Structure 1
Amino acid sequence: MSPRARTLRPLDEPEAARLRAAELTYVADRLGTTLDGEEPPPGYQRLRAARVVGHGRDHFEAAVAALDDWQVQRRSGAAVRADGGSLTVGTVAVVRLALPVVGFVGVDAPVRIVDVADEDDRRGFAYGTLPGHPEEGEESFVLSIADDGVVRFTVDAFSRPASRLARLGGPLTSTAQAIMTRRYLAALETP
Structure 2
Amino acid sequence: MPHSRTGRGPSAGALTYGPAGATRPADEPWPSRNTGLRPYARTVVIGRGEADWQAAADAVLRWGVKRRSGFTVSGRDGAGERVVEGAEYQVTAAFGPCVVREPVRVVAIVDTPDRCGFAYGTLPGHPVSGEEVFIVHRSPDGTVALTIRFLDRCRPARVVAPGVPGAAGRAAGVPATLSAHPAARAGSGREVTRRLCGAGMGLDLAH
| TM-score, normalising length: structure 1 | 0.77
Q: 1:31 touches 1:115 (CA, 8 Å); kept in 2?
A: yes
What is the distance in 1 between the residues matched to 2:183 and 2:15? 24
CA gap of 1:41–1:185, structure 2 versus 1, over 3 A, is: farther
What is the distance in 1 between the residues matched to 2:89 and 2:158? 21
AA aligned opposite 1:88 = V
Q: How does 1:101-180 map to 2 (within 5 A)?
A: 103-163=96-156, 172=178, 173=181, 175-179=183-187
Q: Secondary structure at the match of 2:85?
A: coil
AA aligned opposite 2:106 = I
**Aligned residue number for residue 91 of structure 1:** 87
Bigger Cα Rg = 2
**Worse overlay, 176-185 or 126-135:** 176-185
Q: 1:54 aligns with which of 41, 47, 72?
A: 47
CA gap of 1:104–1:153, structure 2 versus 1, over 3 A, is: farther
Q: Secondary structure at the match of 1:17?
A: coil
CA gap of 1:174–1:68, structure 2 versus 1, over 3 A, is: closer
1:186 counterpart = 2:178: no
Q: 2:55 touches 2:197 (CA, 8 Å); kept in 1?
A: no
1:31 counterpart = 2:27: no
* Structure 1 unmatched ranges of 5 or more: 1-12
Q: Secondary structure at the match of 1:66?
A: helix
Q: Secondary structure at the match of 1:84?
A: coil
Moved over 3 A (4+): 40-43, 172-175, 179-186
**Aligned residue number for residue 163 of structure 2:** none
Aligned-residue CA RMSD (Å): 2.9
* Structure 2 unmatched ranges of 5 or more: 1-5, 160-170, 201-207
What is the distance in 1 between the residues matched to 2:136 and 2:14? 28
TM-aligned CA deviation for residue 79 of structure 1: 0.8
CA gap of 1:31–1:175, structure 2 versus 1, over 3 A, is: closer
TM-aligned CA deviation for residue 115 of structure 1: 0.4
Aligned residues: 172
Identity %: 34
Q: 2:126 touches 2:157 (CA, 8 Å); kept in 1?
A: no
| TM-score, normalising length: structure 2 | 0.71
